[in-house]
Structure 1
Amino acid sequence: MTTREHSLYGPLADPAANAGHLDHPPRVGFFTDTSVCIGCKACEVACKEWNNVPEDGLNLLGMSFDNTGMLGADSWRHVAFIEQERPLGRQDAGLGELPTGPSVTEAAAETVAEALRGTQRAGGDLGTAPVDLGFPSFDLPGRTPGEHERTEFRWLMSSDVCKHCTHAGCLDVCPTGALFRTEFGTVVVQADICNGCGYCVSGCPYGVIDRRHGDGRAWKCTMCYDRLRGGLDPACAHACPTQSIQFGPLDELRERAAQRLDQLHAAGVPEARLYGADPGNGVGGDGTFFLLLDEPEVYGLPPDPVVPTRDLISTWKHVGLAASGLLAAAVLAFAGRGGR
């Protein structure tokens, strides 16, 4: 079995090594704790600024504050805003004691604690205390006669990004070698080699990668590969004020995520769950994973992502057997006619 076949279909605990990086640093990734995301979009701005990603999402009509709408060639980071008719609950539990990682400054604990204090409104948690809108709130959830306020809602905010899959469908189907696996285990597009065929777009189980309008080439998050090579953190993680986006060695992030999940469950938030952290999922585990407060579909994430090339070898084996059977049948038919 070749290295490429092994990376496609065999166990792959070390994608960088299987891509030929024999002496490489630990695999790195993102852990996004959506329970502390405040929807500031600092990650979107930092990503665009550092990577020269064109502006988009300037039309706010019909999409609330979710102006980018979805990931794409011009949106390598997308902050989702989902409003639900339910109180915030205890998702802020243990925030002050949340472990910090390599991308966090010494002042992170105070920054997070300050962000937590900022969620207090009129003596209650965000979403559970009256909020004066300044205008009549006709038929808004939580409204009672004579009040212009909302009392029973919460925002689910999450900064989505490329998952840098262990089994990367985009990488598998690229015919030009424009996509490659880095020494950090991430997946990067080389725009100067991309021919715009679009195979990678259909090969991504998350719908992340996209072709740029007017350009035709594929673009997506590189996890700031140039910054990683210079010993720096990705721009989005560096800019996140609440450490919702945490960057570091993937094994350490998984341990940290498990601790945070235990904190939330102990605080009475049973709906909290990890998404993408399981190495046994349909893409062999993600280099970017999330702590969610609802079902993945609520955030626009597939519940059971599967790399499209998963069954490629077995499919070709069946095609080969079928072709061999047809060939044998044809030979027998011609041999029978010759005998007559």
Structure 2
Amino acid sequence: MTNRHLLSGPEPDPARDAGHADPPPRVGFFTDTSVCIGCKACEVACKEWNALPEDGLSLTGMSYDNTQGLGASTWRHVAFIEQSAPAPEGRTRLPLLDGEPGPAGAGELRWLMSSDVCKHCTHAACLDVCPTGSLFRTEFGTVVVQDDICNGCGYCVPACPYGVIEQRPSDGRAFKCTMCYDRLGAGQEPACAKACPTESIRFGPLDELRERAALRVDELHEAGVAGARLYGHEPDDGVGGDGAFFLLLDEPEVYGLPPAPVVTTRDLPTMWKHAGAAALSLLGGVALSFAVAARGRR
């Protein structure tokens, strides 16, 4: 099914657009990085519930983060970002994470921690390019990979604007977060949200989470945390809004997130039109050549 990101009007209902006649309210994640303590309980809970294999757990020497990024066997990843710089003029550092003094002349040391996950985009390019139907939209509005149907073509990997999906080296099949689809069907919250000790990861109806997130940003601004901002919550952004959005304390690039993600299949309708026109022109030229050749033989 082709995404409907070019259509204007009310905010789309991805589950209904996917053919679910009477879907429940769309659900998602709101990750508040201002209260993340980097415990990685979400990573552990995700691996345990989904029976994900161990994937390295090796320190790079550049960070205390021992899982490094999202991948086929890491569906939740807590990023550790260490900042050492003077506070910008007029900006108050987050009191929860002011840390220790940095090197001489470098200002304060600040840790930013963020639990990253698949964004479950409203306009998911991975769905557009999957040739087998392995990727599908659930009744909850989430995006799931059926690994037993995946043929390992890998088309979904470059299609994801966030670089979330990865293929396992052992067999080439693609894997990513399912938002614990099996738990949702049983009326339970995802394992990562259940395990988070600070409620940094909130799960629930997406509309309610957006309201809660806006209030939290206002609260932080009033407390002097001028850098607090939301990411992925706007329904009119390049991917139609995310089913998993974040409260960040700095620019998205600091967290390894694209500042302006765009659905990578946005130009497909135009491309198909041009391809169709070119094919018709080619067929017309071939037909004309045959007609001219036939006249010449008379």
Counterpart position of 2:111: 155
Counterpart position of 1:248: 204
Counterpart position of 1:136: none
Deviation at residue 16 of structure 1 after TM alignment: 0.6
Deviation at residue 209 of structure 1 after TM alignment: 0.8
Counterpart position of 2:94: 91
Map Cα deviations across residues 138-195 of structure 1 (whole Å, 9 max, x no partner). Answer: xxx3348xxxxx9711011100000001111111111111111111100111111111
Mapping 1:240-279, distance limit 5 Å: 240-279=196-235
2:128 to 172, 179, 195: 172
65 and 57 in structure 1: CA distance in 2 versus 1, 3 angstrom threshold:
farther
Counterpart position of 1:309: 265
For 1:67 and 1:89, how far apart are their aligned partners in 2?
30
What TM-score does the superposition give when structure 1 sets the normalisation length?
Answer: 0.79
- The CA RMSD measured in Å over matched residues stands at 2.2
Counterpart position of 2:63: 64
Mapping 1:1-340, distance limit 5 Å: 4-5=1-2, 7=4, 9-10=6-7, 13-86=12-85, 89-91=92-94, 126-127=98-99, 141-143=102-104, 152-332=108-288
SS at match of 2:198: coil
Where do 4+ consecutive residues of structure 1 move more than 6 Å? 337-340
Contact 1:72/1:220, CA 8 A, preserved across alignment:
yes
For 1:34 and 1:247, how far apart are their aligned partners in 2?
14
SS at match of 2:156: helix
For 2:291 and 2:107, how far apart are their aligned partners in 1?
83
Percent of counterpart pairs with the same letter? Answer: 70
For 1:51 and 1:204, how far apart are their aligned partners in 2?
22
For 1:268 and 1:57, how far apart are their aligned partners in 2?
39
Gaps of 5+ in 1: 93-118, 120-124, 131-140, 145-149
For 2:146 and 2:288, how far apart are their aligned partners in 1?
51
For 1:197 and 1:16, how far apart are their aligned partners in 2?
25
Map Cα deviations across residues 242-299 of structure 1 (whole Å, 9 max, x no partner). Answer: 1111111000011111111112222222222111101111111100001111111111
SS at match of 1:5: coil
Deviation at residue 85 of structure 1 after TM alignment: 1.1
Map Cα deviations across residues 31-54 of structure 1 (whole Å, 9 max, x no partner). Answer: 111111111101000100111011
Map Cα deviations across residues 88-113 of structure 1 (whole Å, 9 max, x no partner). Answer: 94535xxxxxxxxxxxxxxxxxxxxx
Contact 2:29/2:206, CA 8 A, preserved across alignment:
yes
Map Cα deviations across residues 172-225 of structure 1 (whole Å, 9 max, x no partner). Answer: 111111111111100111111111111111211111011112132111101011
| Greater alpha carbon shift after TM alignment, 165-174 vs 57-66 | 57-66
Contact 2:77/2:117, CA 8 A, preserved across alignment:
yes
Contact 1:34/1:158, CA 8 A, preserved across alignment:
yes
SS at match of 1:153: strand
For 2:111 and 2:56, how far apart are their aligned partners in 1?
20
Residue type of the alignment partner of 1:271: G
Contact 1:28/1:184, CA 8 A, preserved across alignment:
yes
Counterpart position of 1:137: none
For 2:94 and 2:150, how far apart are their aligned partners in 1?
43
What TM-score does the superposition give when structure 2 sets the normalisation length?
Answer: 0.89
Deviation at residue 8 of structure 1 after TM alignment: 5.9
Residue type of the alignment partner of 2:41: A
Gaps of 5+ in 2: none
SS at match of 1:85: strand
